[in-house]
């Protein structure tokens, strides 16, 4: 888990100086563009996990009703898992135009 050390306004944008541990830096795999900052403290929409199949072997993350607008459910989806000391964070990426960027 990282933290913002400082911030300053640069024209219409804000420049952040960020400190992260080696694990977080490794997760980036050398990609330093198109980086998004987020905090778990603003994950304020409740969601659920559904299970199906024999012994509930298949799990589904359910998209909350208020977040479903304008989603195309047939687009490719990227997923990333981040583990912290006491939580697991899943990040799903769905492109609006249906063209998932892979490297």
Q: Which structural domain, as residue segments, surrounds residue 49?
A: 38-103
How many structural domains does the chain have? 2
The confidence score (pLDDT) of residue 8 equals: 96
Cα atoms in the 13 Å half-sphere on the side-chain side of 15: 4
Instruction: Please name the helix (run of DSSP H) or strand (run of DSSP E) that holds residue 24, with its range, or none.
Output: helix 22-27
Please, how many CA atoms are within 13 Å of residue 5, restricted to the half-sphere of its CB?
Answer: 4
Q: pLDDT (tens digit, 9 = 90+) per residue, 4-35?
A: 999 999 899 999 999 998 988 988 899 989 88
Distance CA 45, CA 102 (A): 29
Summarised one tens digit per residue, pLDDT across range 89-99 is: 999 988 877 66
Quick one: 96 and 79 in the same domain?
Answer: yes
55-70 pLDDT, tens digit each? 999 999 999 999 988 7
66 and 45 assigned to the same domain: yes
For residues 8 and 56, membership in a common domain is answered with no
Sign (positive or negative) of CA dihedral 64, 67, 73, 79: negative
pLDDT of residue 77: 87
């Amino acid at each position: 888990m990282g933290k913002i050390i400082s911030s300053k306004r640069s024209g219409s944008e804000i420049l952040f100086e960020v400190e992260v541990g080696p694990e977080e830096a490794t997760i980036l795999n050398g990609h330093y563009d198109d980086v998004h900052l987020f905090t778990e403290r603003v994950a304020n929409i409740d969601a659920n996990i559904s299970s199906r199949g024999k012994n509930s072997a298949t799990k589904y993350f359910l998209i909350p009703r208020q977040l479903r607008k304008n989603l195309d459910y047939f687009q490719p989806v990227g997923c990333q898992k981040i583990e912290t000391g006491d939580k697991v964070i899943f990040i799903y990426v769905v492109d609006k135009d249906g063209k998932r960027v892979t490297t």
